[in-house]
């Protein structure tokens, strides 16, 4: 009893340790604008519809977790911690699985858990809202449930395994890659299952029943909920197109975003995940698993799981294909655990056949092994720490902090608009703004032209080609407002000036400057009020240089005025243009030097120094 309690304490301590590491290094809010993480940070807490395949289990569980079970902090951070929880559970299950595969050795379980836990690809997925931590929790759970069946499993045990397999498919479709390995394992270890029998129907029902969770998608759509892209059509055909992700099949043949990789690139990925020593131990341990006939079925299951996921990862042409290697890394970690087991057996033989745990030779052999695995010596990538990654979250806050007039339209890329929608839903900000996500440049231009003509306030996140000569513009925080030509309202500067630039063709009539109240790195917002006195022939740029007390440059950035929405050559003479820039603010900064220069020749056209607010 005491030994069993100690084993249970082991797994809880390992899981808790992993959770503390992942939670401490998790992103504090929105981590990226242009990936699925931001979508999940919005979709789950609002119980909306995710992109294909819909991820109903993740959405439901993540929504309940973030809104009911863990209503602490911003929505994005809550969902990041949800990944940390799933990641910690995976590491704990991997420990148990490795122990079971080798007959109960804690050394083996610890080696496997540590080999996997600190791989940078895996670690990164436990620090943001993504589906891969939970998916690999299912991978570990299915493998553990299969090898725990024993030689004479009950109908109930097999039914639970089938139900778990079905549930895994309500989360991520690549769980299907485990089904052939699980079926072959059952047929290999349970000869009585090889002939058709009535029990199969019960097991099939147990497998299919969790798939009813996919009804969440049409039910939510019937309530008026839409996916972010607005692509889901609530029909029979639309449902299956979404659930089967039929639009993604092209990723097996061609994808403009795919990165071509060679065999050496794949090897580099493996080394960056494990380091050379752990990679060698993993490969060796996988091979050793097939030596003894009594262990061959279990290790055959591991090998088949590895092979199926490896073939998929090599065939799937997406930019972030490394996340589909995670089950492969998990299987390699099991190999590391098996190598630890063989070293333990070797130590016992060398120690005159003593097999009790903890003999001095076993410790002498296995402690260096664990040190190698934990340290990542031999090429493993750098540790992951997103705990201070506030840039994307602060951008989303800045988007939503603009004082929008009623019926405003904010036009930008999908990720930028999702950030705005996140702030609207989670913090109640920007109530007067409607996000318009248009990734196609022609569609953006057409929308802007029509909306301005209709008299709507229109804001841009970035340039839209073809509108610069037909409109006027003003900076509004991180956005640029589009006005009818000659009707821009810039307001009055807080700090009036009268500085002539470009041989008198451009005046700086004043500026606003403030420290931004935001989490993470301090920042500065400065707004310039430019007024051309004649049509400018040059396309001008700005060099913004932060100086310390001694006048030395400590940070410098070159920027286009108006975020390149309209070049200075398109500005109307006599019209005041408000131009806003946000800058990181080092603690030692005391002044801002602004140099105006010709983009084509880099010839300086004037400069001004502005004191910073203290």
Q: 3-state SS string over 510-577?
A: EEEEEEECCCCCCEEEEEEEEEECCCCCCCEEEEEEEECCCCCEEEEEEECHHHHCCCHHHCCCCCCE
* Res. 366 pLDDT band, cuts 50 70 90: confident
- Same domain, yes or no: 245 and 326: yes
Is residue 476 included in any domain, yes or no?
no
- Same domain, yes or no: 154 and 275: yes
pLDDT score of 436 more than 70: yes
- Tens-place pLDDT, residues 135-150: 999 999 999 999 999 7
- Same domain, yes or no: 94 and 224: yes
- Same domain, yes or no: 528 and 430: no
- Same domain, yes or no: 346 and 424: no
Model pTM? 0.93
Report yes or no: 434 and 455 within 8 Å, Cβ to Cβ: no
Mean pLDDT of 378-392: 94
pLDDT score of 457 more than 80: yes
Is residue 268 included in any domain, yes or no?
yes
**Which pLDDT score is estimated for 541?**
97
- Tell me whether residue 154 is exposed, middle or buried, using C-beta atoms within 10 angstroms of its C-beta: 0 to 12, 13 to 18, 19 or more: exposed
Of 467, 502, 517, the one marking the end of a domain is 467
**Which pLDDT score is estimated for 250?**
59
**Which pLDDT score is estimated for 514?**
96
Is residue 185 included in any domain, yes or no?
yes
Cα separation of 312 and 306, whole Å? 10
Cα separations in angstroms, 211 against 70, 171, 217, 248: 26, 10, 12, 21
Of the candidates 25, 611, 468, which has an alpha carbon nearest to the alpha carbon of residue 460? Answer: 468
Is residue 442 included in any domain, yes or no?
yes
Please give the DSSP secondary-structure letter assigned to residue 404: P
Say whether 269 sits in a helix, a strand or coil. helix
Of the candidates 73, 43, 467, 426, which has an alpha carbon nearest to the alpha carbon of residue 216? Answer: 43
Q: What is the mean pLDDT of the chain?
A: 93
Mean pLDDT of 295-311: 96
Of 434, 467, 500, the one marking the end of a domain is 467
Percent with pLDDT over 70 in the chain? 95
Is residue 380 included in any domain, yes or no?
no
Cα separation of 220 and 234, whole Å? 10
Maximum separation of any 2 CA atoms in the chain, in Å: 95
Is residue 485 included in any domain, yes or no?
no
- Same domain, yes or no: 62 and 177: yes
pLDDT score of 538 more than 80: yes
- Tens-place pLDDT, residues 115-132: 999 999 999 999 999 999
Q: Which two tokens stand for residue 474?
A: 């003003």
Report yes or no: 143 and 165 within 8 Å, Cβ to Cβ: no
Domain region containing 217: 2-375
**Which pLDDT score is estimated for 253?**
59
**Which pLDDT score is estimated for 570?**
96
Cα separation of 113 and 560, whole Å? 49
Mean pLDDT of 255-282: 87
- Tens-place pLDDT, residues 559-591: 999 999 999 999 999 999 999 999 999 999 999
Cα separation of 180 and 586, whole Å? 56
pLDDT score of 335 more than 80: yes
Q: Which two tokens stand for residue 244?
A: 């089967």
- Same domain, yes or no: 287 and 400: no
- Same domain, yes or no: 435 and 497: no
- Same domain, yes or no: 333 and 395: no
The helix (H) or strand (E) run that includes residue 138 is: helix 132-147
Please give the DSSP secondary-structure letter assigned to residue 380: P
Mean pLDDT of 437-465: 96
Is residue 473 included in any domain, yes or no?
no
pLDDT score of 106 more than 90: no
Report yes or no: 437 and 417 within 8 Å, Cβ to Cβ: yes
What is the total count of domains within the chain? 3
Is residue 128 included in any domain, yes or no?
yes
Of 348, 375, 402, the one marking the end of a domain is 375
Mean pLDDT of 384-390: 97
- Tens-place pLDDT, residues 155-180: 899 999 999 999 999 999 999 999 99
- Same domain, yes or no: 300 and 252: yes
pLDDT score of 89 more than 90: yes
**Which pLDDT score is estimated for 357?**
47
- Same domain, yes or no: 73 and 150: yes
- Same domain, yes or no: 369 and 502: no
Q: Where are the alpha helices (DSSP H) in 177-235?
A: 179-189, 199-208, 216-222
């Amino acid at each position: 009893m005491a030994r069993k309690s100690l084993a249970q304490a082991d797994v809880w301590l390992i899981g808790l340790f992993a959770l503390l590491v992942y939670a401490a290094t998790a992103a504090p809010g929105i981590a990226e604008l242009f990936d699925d993480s931001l979508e999940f940070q919005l979709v789950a807490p609002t119980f909306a519809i995710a992109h294909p395949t819909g991820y109903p289990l993740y959405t439901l569980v993540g929504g309940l977790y973030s809104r009911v079970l863990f209503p602490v902090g911003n929505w994005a951070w809550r969902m990041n911690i949800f990944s940390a929880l799933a990641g910690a559970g995976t590491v704990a299950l991997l420990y148990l699985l490795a122990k079971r595969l080798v007959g109960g050795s804690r050394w083996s379980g610890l080696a496997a858990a540590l080999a996997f836990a600190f791989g940078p690809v895996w670690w990164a997925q436990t620090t943001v809202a993504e589906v891969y931590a939970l998916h690999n929790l299912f991978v570990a759970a299915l493998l553990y449930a299969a090898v725990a069946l024993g030689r004479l499993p009950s109908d109930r045990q097999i039914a639970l395994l089938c139900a778990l397999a079905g549930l895994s498919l309500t989360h991520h479709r690549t769980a299907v890659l485990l089904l052939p390995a699980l079926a072959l394992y059952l047929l290999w270890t349970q000869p009585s299952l090889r002939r058709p029998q009535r029990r199969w129907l019960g097991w099939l029902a147990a497998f299919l029943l969790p798939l009813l969770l996919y009804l969440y998608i049409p039910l939510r759509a019937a309530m008026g909920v839409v996916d972010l892209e607005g692509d889901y059509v609530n029909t029979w055909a639309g449902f299956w197109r979404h659930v089967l992700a039929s639009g993604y099949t092209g990723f097996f043949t061609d994808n403009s975003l795919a990165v071509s990789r060679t065999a050496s690139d794949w090897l580099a990925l493996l080394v960056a995940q494990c380091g050379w020593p752990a990679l060698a131990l993993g490969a060796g341990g996988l091979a050793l698993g097939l030596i003894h006939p009594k262990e061959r079925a279990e290790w055959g299951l591991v090998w088949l799981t590895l092979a199926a996921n490896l073939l998929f990862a090599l065939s799937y042409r997406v930019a972030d294909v490394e996340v589909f290697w995670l089950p492969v890394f998990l299987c390699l970690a099991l190999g590391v655990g098996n190598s630890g087991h063989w070293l333990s057996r070797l130590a016992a033989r060398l120690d005159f056949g003593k097999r009790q745990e903890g003999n001095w030779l076993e410790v002498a052999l296995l402690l260096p092994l664990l040190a190698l695995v934990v340290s990542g010596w031999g090429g493993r990538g750098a540790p992951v720490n997103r705990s201070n990654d506030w840039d994307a979250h602060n951008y989303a806050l800045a988007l939503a902090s603009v004082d929008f007039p009623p019926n405003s339209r904010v036009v930008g890329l999908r990720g930028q608009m999702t950030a705005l929608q996140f702030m609207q839903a989670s913090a109640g900000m920007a109530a007067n703004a409607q996000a318009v996500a248009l990734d196609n440049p022609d569609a953006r231009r057409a929308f802007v032209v029509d909306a301005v003509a209709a008299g709507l306030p229109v804001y841009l996140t970035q340039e839209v080609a073809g509108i610069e000569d037909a409109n006027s513009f003003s900076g509004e925080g991180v956005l640029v407002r589009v006005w009818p030509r000659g009707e821009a309202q810039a307001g009055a500067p807080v700090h009036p000036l009268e500085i002539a630039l470009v041989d008198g063709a451009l005046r700086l009539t004043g500026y606003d400057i403030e420290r931004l109240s935001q989490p993470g790195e301090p920042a500065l917002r400065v707004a310039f009020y430019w007024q051309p006195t004649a049509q400018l022939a040059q396309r001008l740029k700005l060099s913004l240089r932060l100086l310390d007390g001694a006048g030395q440059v400590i940070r410098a950035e070159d920027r286009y005025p108006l975020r390149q929405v309209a070049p200075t050559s398109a500005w109307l003479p006599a019209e005041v243009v408000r131009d806003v820039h946000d800058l990181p603010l080092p603690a030692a900064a005391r002044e801002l030097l602004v140099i105006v220069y010709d983009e084509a020749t880099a010839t300086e056209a004037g400069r001004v120094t502005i004191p910073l607010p203290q």
